[in-house]
Each structure stands twice: as C-alpha cells, then as structure tokens.
Structure 1
Amino acid sequence: MLHPRRSAQDVLLCDSCETFPLQCHCELCQINLCTNCVGKHLLDSSKRHNVVPFKQKKSTPNYPECPTHADKHCELYCEDCDVPVCINCVTTDKHRGHKISDILEKLGSKTQGLQNDLEELETRVYPRYEEMASDVQTEKANLETNYEQLTTAADQQEEIWHREITAIVNQVKSDIAEMKTKHMAALDKNTDEITHSITELKQIILNLKAILESNDISLISTYKSRNNEFRRLPPKVRVTLPSFSPQKINTDQLREMFGSLSPLSINTEEHDYTMKSPEAVLSPPVKPMKSPEAVSSPPVKPMKSPEAVSSPVKPLLDDPRLTATIDTGYGEHELRSVSCLNEDQVWTRGENETMKLLNLQSKLLTSIQTESGNVPGDIAVTRDGDLVYTDYIKHTVNIVKNKQIQTLITLQGWRPLFVCSTASDDLLVTMISDDHTQYKVVRYSGSTETQSIQFDDQGRPLYSSDYYDKYISENRNLDICVADTSAKAVVVVNQSGKLRFRYTGHPSNTEQSFKPVGITTDSQSHILTADWGNHRIHILDQDGQFLRYIHCDLRGPYGLCVDIRDNLFVAERYTAKVKKIQYL
C-alpha cells in the first residue's frame, strides 16, 4: 500500500521526518534523508555512514545483519572463517588475529567468479549439451529404419526356406528385437542423462542470475560453483549397428547356415576434448570406458527389459480352430502337464513316473522315467531343448541331457512343485515349505538361486500356502505369472517381484467358481490360463484385462503351453489328450 503522503503525484519525502523532500541517501542504512535530518543521522557513531546526494546514490549491496550483535551490519569479511562479520565481531576471541578484509572487496571477487561461471555455462557448456541431445535424437530417428532393414532381410530369407526352419527364423527375429531394444535403451539412457544435466544447468543459470541481480552478500558468499562438474561432458554412446549375413541353404546345417547377426556393440566414449576453464590444469586423456550395457550378444543372454520384445501384431481369432489331437496314452484324469519341444513335438507328464515325448500323430518318440521312480511334480523344456522335471518327494529339480538325468537343484526345508524356463534361460520354481505353511517362487541361474519372491510390499504372502496346483510362466514383458488354484486367482508380479495385479476371473456366469491351473504366455504378452472346472481357457492382456475365452469343446483343460508360432497346446485331464489350437 502506498504511503498516504507519497502518491504518484507528490514529492518524495524524507524517510526520517516524513515532512521535507528527500535530498540525500545513506548508502549504509539504505534510507533517504532531507538536509535537516542528515546531521542527526550522522550523530550515530556506531556505524560508518556514507551519505551522498540522492541523485548520486548507486545500487549498493545489502549488508547482512550480524547474527551475534544486534543492530549491527556485517561490513567486514573474515578471510580465515570465510564469513561476513561486523566491527564488534573483529574484537572478539573468535576472530582475533584473523585476516579481516573489506566486504565490498570480497563481494567484487565473488561477483566476478559468478559472472565467469554464468558466461561459461551460457556460451560454452549449455550449447554443447543441446548439440549432444540433438545428435542422439537424430540417431534415434534413424534407428527404426536400420532395424526394419535387418528384419526385412530375415523375412526374405525365411520365404525361401521350408517350414522346419521356422523356429530359427523366429529366434533371429527375437535377437534383432533384443538388440534393437538394447540400442534404444542405451540411447534413451544417454538422452535421460543429458536431459537431466540440461535441466540442472538451466536451474543453475537462473539461480546465478537471481543471485547477481539480488546483490545479496549472504547468497553470494554461500554460493558454491559446480562448473567443474559440468565442464566434463557426459560420454557419448557409440553403437555399431549389427548386420545380417545370409548364407546359402544347407539342410544339414540349418541353424548354422541360416545366417548370423553381428554382435550389437554398445559403448560409451569420452569426447575428443573436455572443456576447461582458463585456470584448469591439463591432465592425461581419459580412456573410454565401457558402460554396463557394453555387451555383445549373442551368445551372452542378459536379462531383458520389459520392453525387450518386439513381435508382429497378431490379432485374436474370433473362432479358435482345433488343428490336431494327440492321444498321450495316460489314463483318464491322469494327464497333468504339457511342454512344447517344437511345433510338432510335446513332452507330457501324468500321474506316474513316465514322461513322454509325442508328435502330432500321437507317436511316442521318447519316454523318460524319473530317477527316483516318483511321480514328477511338473515338467519344462529349456531353450536348449533339455527336459526339466521336479521331484516333490526327493526335494530336487532335475534335468535330462541326452537321456541322462542330472540333479540340478536340491532343496532344504522346501519342496519343489512347478517349474518354467525363462527367456534368459533361468528356471522359475514354485515351492512349498516342508510344514506346508509357506509358499514362494525362486529363480535359479543354473543351480544358483538368484531371486526369491514370497511377500508383497506390506509383508503379506503373495501366494496361498495350500498344497494345490500353482503352475508358473514368464510373460514376454518379464512378468512372473502364477495360477494360484486355491486362491482362485492368477497372481502376476513384475521382474523385481513387485505385485502388479491379481486376476480372479470374469464376472460372466460359470458352472463353477474360477480355479486356474495351467498357465502360459505368447508372443503378444497375452496370459492364458486353464479354467478346468468350466472347461475353457481365459485370455488376458499383459495388464490383466480379460479379452475372451477359448472353448473348442475342451474337457477339463489342465496343463498349457504355447509353441514358437503361438499355437496353444492344451492337456485335457478328463480325456488324457493334448489338443493343438490356433487362436491368433
């Protein structure tokens, strides 16, 4: 609010008497005075007043008030303590013998340092960050075209070859997608680092401008320069694009002769020079360092990110089609699991010690008996085509290589139930404690435990502890999906084990309540689970939203698996048959 006697139409008055027009200005006290009040103002000898004609007044620093001595301003600066002080502070024991300088001199040097920092950030550092961000965006814009060319090359080769190499074609496409994702992830990470630095630089520049404009000694004296931190630009990501090398067809060496991708090489390298201030000391050049993403693949199989899958979109069929039926030879109500070796052959297990490999014509190709003679708890096929099975009684997870059984994992205090093989060739095993009070999911790399999933963020169990079927599968986005029969729910956690959602069935009318058993996933990140009591399969999207049912006259669907071409295999418990269904 304006002073009642100082409107825009009136003469400005003395701050002291508020009667006569102002004519002078005290630069120390920052007040305006008339000639009558100047003498009275100078009588206060406790301060070093500096009274000048009002027209000669200049912008002066705001002397900070002394925190120790009331009514005193800090006009001096203690060099030893690096703090502003008043005239009384100098005589105290705390500052006795210290080097004392005029605060205006200190202000000058500090201000010059701020001005130099501001100039360097605005004219040299910030433009380089903008340039780097632009370069990364350009590279990302060209990335799609480069990888489309790779995929096209693989597709052209696929058209020439016969159906038996389809699995190899899809594997190569998967490798391309994985490389593309790593490439994009590396560029995204680089962009994030640069963008973060740009944001910080903008804020620092604004802060510096504000400090300089305020002329506030406190702000200036407490300012700490970060220019050294930003002079070294972030490393630039250098990626060597993979290339596809097609080979002539040789049916005896299909996988080797189909072609190979050169490794995706993601490295970071320092720039040719690092911007330095005029006072910077020269140092030897820094050798480029590989970032944690500097991997070569294949054969290295790192954990994929949730975005590490890029598959052609395949819409759901309105009417899924039954394309084959396999008679497994198990008795009625005995068939429990099915696991795909390829699109023509499946492993099955029932309520006895024998696991069978069958083709689409129901021909028995191989049979394996458990080493202990116990009924296998579950079966899975690894990326190398080896059969894995669990032995509840012996507390073991076993692998079959060249028809020889090896014990891969032996548990203490826990019993393994169901198992699946992951995209990174790990094993996920569901298990129950010996006393049947706890249940958890454990990830193994070979025989080494690398992850245990048991509780949610509030410490509550994720899974019921009842001894019921709990089939498990890993989705293409690396979610871990468990069909918890006794809980009447599909429980889905992310790669880190954090609960994403629970699916408890569709609200449509059912003959019986929803009790999921077998579970599998496909290239579209759909989750498929067998609702055996209601004789149908539920299809969910990756976020747990119900999409539709598969019926196909199923009779007690139990175990599920999907082959590399997204054909669904359903193990029917009531008929002991495996049905092959096309639903995409």
Structure 2
Amino acid sequence: MSEPSDEQAAMQHYLVCGTEDCQKNGQFYCNACHQSLCEQCRNEHQKSPNTKNHEIVLYRHRKHQLPVEKCKDHPTRNIDIFCKECQIALCSKCSTMEEHNGHKFDDLEDIYAEKYALWQGEFSKIQKYFLPTSQDLKTDIEEDSTQIKKIMESIRTSMKAKAESLKNLVDVVTSENIEHSYTMEESLLKKLKSQETTYDDYIAYLWKMSDEFQEYLSITNQKLLFSKTLKIQQIPETTKPVPPVFTVGQFNKDDVTKLLGKVNVPNTKPEKRKIQPMEVVTAHMKPTEKQLEQSKEKSDMKQTLSLSSSVTKVREYSVPGVGSVYHVSLDKPGRLWVSDGSGNLVQTDLQGNQLQKIQASGRYAGYHTATQDGDLIYTDQDKNVIYRITADKKITEFIKTGAICVHSSHINGDILVGMIGKVIRYSKAGKEIQNIQWDEYGLVIGPSYITENINGDICISDNYNDAVVVVNKSGQQRFSYTGHGSEFFPDGICTDVLGHILVCDNASKSVHLLDQDGGFLSIILSSKQGIKGPLGVCVDDENNLHVGQRTTNTVTVYKYLQ
C-alpha cells in the first residue's frame, strides 16, 4: 500500500491501517516495513517471529522511506548504503568490492530520514515564518508607499501655500512702496511749490523797488535823492530737491529658496524594518485567562462602541483654587489635575475636593500630563525644567529642558514634549529617544497642546498656524486640519479609544470631532450645550469627555459614545 502524503493524511478523517483488508485507524508505523498499523495490527506485528524486532513508532514519528534507486553496476540491487570514506551511495554488493575494503558504511535510509526531517523542518519554516514575515514586510512597504504619497502631496500643498503667501507679501510690499513713492512725491512738490512762492514774492518786491528807483531818478524828484538811501534785499536762497533713489533689492534663486523652503531627505539613518525573530513568530504560547479576558474586553468595546446620535451631560463639578480650566489631566480613577491661565495647578476629586495645589509658571497650554503610573509631569517654563510629582506628593526634577506642552503616552508611557519648531520624545525614565525637527518638513510649529492617537500618530494643536497638525510616529506629516469652513483657533486636544481626535475651537467656541485621518465628522459641543469657551479636553477610561472652559472653574462631563 502506498504511503499517503502529509497533505493527504491531513485531509483524511484518519489514516488507514496498511494491513490488507484492515480499514482501522493506522496511528502507528513500522519503520522496517514502512507501513501504517492500527493498534491491533501493531500488537500482532510485535508478536510475529518475523517482525517482532521491527521498530514501531507513532505515525508522526515515522522514518520516511528511502526512494528506490537501482545500482548502475548491479541493476538487481537497490542503492541503500553510504560509504563514509568515499562519500558515495552504494548497493550492498558494491560495498564488498575491493575498493571499499575496510571502509565504514551508514544506512542510507537513516541518512535520508535525517535529511528528510531537516528538509521538512526548513519547509515548515518557509510556510510558518519566512513567507508570512516576508508578506508582512511587503505589506509594510506598500503602506509606506501610500504614506510617502500622502506626505509628498502634503509637502506640495505646503509649498503652494507658502508660495502663495510670499506672492501676497510681495503684492503688499509693492503696494506699500508705491504708496510711499506718491507720499514722497507730494512732499517734494509741496516744498518746491513753497520755493516757487518765495520767488514770486521776491519778484513782486523787485518790481516795487524798480518803481521806487524810477521815481528817485526822475528830474522832478531829484530832491528825493538826498532824502534816503534805498537798499535792495538779497535774492532768497533755496535748495534743489534731492530726488529719491530706488534701491533695487538684491536676490537670487537661492534667496527665494530660503524663503520658500525646499524638499530634502533628512540626514537621518534609515530605520531598519523590524523582523520578528522566528522563535517569537512560531511560538504557540497559550495566553493566560486574564490576558484573554482583557483582550476580549477591549475587542468587544471597540466592536460595540460607536458615536451616539446625541451628546448627553453626565455630571459637572467645580474645581476650587482655579479661575478657569485651561487644561485637564486625568489621574488615577476619581482624581484629576486642572490648570488655569494664572499658573494655578490643582488636583481634585470628582466631588470637587482639593487634594493638592501648586503654583506653576505654565499658562495657556497643556503643560501637564498624568502618567500610566499615576504621577504628574509638568513643565516650568520660567526655569526650563520638567518636574514629576509622585503619589506621595514629592516633587523632583525630571528632565532639564524647556517645553510648552507635554503628554504621557497611553501606549508605551513615553513622554512627548512640544516646543517651538520641534517635538522630543523621552522614555519613561527621561532619556531622549526621538527628536522631530519640524523645519525638516518645511513646517514651523507652535504647539500649545499635544496628544497621541491609538495608532501612534502625534496630534498637535498648533496656535502658530491655527491648525491641528498630525504626524506619524516617525515624525512625518500626515495631515493638517484648519477648521470646517470658518476661522479656526485650536486649543485643547485629545483622542479616544476609536482613534477620534477631539479639539477645542476658540473661534467658534465649540469642540470638533475628527476621524483618525483628519476628516471632519461633527461639532459635538457648542453653545447649544451651554459651551461658551472650551479650552481643555480629555477622555476617561469610561469613554466620557471632560471639558474645561475659559469662563468658569467647572469641569463638565459628557457621554458621546454608545
């Protein structure tokens, strides 16, 4: 009976015993006979005098049969042994020849079985590791290609906007210069007109003097020659105007390039694509019940959550010690930190009871953040230092750097620090691990609030460009959001478990809801809900939106997901 292949065996309900007329499950295998056996036939095989010494194993541990190949010198014999000295395969009769006298031999079938197992292992690696991993890397490349296209399109859009801005500035400066030239011309002509009037007056004076001299010179009036002496006034002095000179601006293509910026590849060593080790990919470790339960809860939450048709007010509480709520950082369950525009930084519970109060130098920005460990990190803008407050209320110097806004990642605990022109990523221990320079991408960013989305995107409320600027975890720009058809002054910003971006708009006094790719979804809070000046926002573990305003010291909580 021919041996079924592994693929055929996998498709059968069970392996059939190789004994003639036996259709039972052939779960065992005789390596000598190369035949599958059921349990009963195995017992008989082991009892038979002719086969009792045969090696019988489980089918999956079987030795694969050596393919039949006839010896060229002895056609009636099969090649089944291997000469270790000559390193060639032989038949049993060849091994008795004089040239192999005294040589050592191995069973070729054992060698074949060993090689077969090795090949099977390598084949399994290809199927289970190399092919899937390569396909994942290819998919990663395809995603990078799509991302590059988006980035380059965004760069081109920025180029056009910058060029248009420069054109507008050129028009403004030219108009101002022309207007100034008219003003200068009017001033010079007015001065010349004044000089002309001076000479008109002097000429009139000369005609008058001429008449008097004629009287003096007449014979009848000779007596006047002895009465008084006439003196002619000097000709008035005037100045010639100094005509303005137009100084032509000196510039060339390089100067224009410096103004507009240019596309270049950052002088950064390309990051190698991460290839998971084989043992990680092929490991089949069973997750713990707790891990399965947590994973199921998160998966169920994402599958069941969706935007509600209306926003519902859940609760509202006042925060003592602050005059307004510019930023909110959610601490451990039931506690939060709130800051106002005067540098007051207060920790409170959900009943409005003050737990701590600190006088900081931060003002109108998201300059504090709660970490995964329940600590608070805040920046002292006057001292250019970032501090950490631990659960025991101990304040320590954390990072020696200035910052406008900070955010502690909910993904890995990294600290994102926003500054003019750049964002720096620090580890939980305060070690710098990434420096994103915005000018490398032709951007000038003035971050006031910063957060991170579930896909690793860095989301910035940019009050320099009046836009929400989003870059991926590598620092490459993904998109900018500049409002929905009207003026847009972004303030507080946060994200939720579904990847939505929520941002306060100080222009329309509302909260905008965007999707993960910057698409406008809705204005979920406005004056209709009693919102007058939203500034600080964050989402808690129960997917509730906390909103702080400029005009009051209350925090209002809303339910917008269902």
TM-score by length of 1: 0.46
Between structure 1 and structure 2, the one with the greater Rg is 2
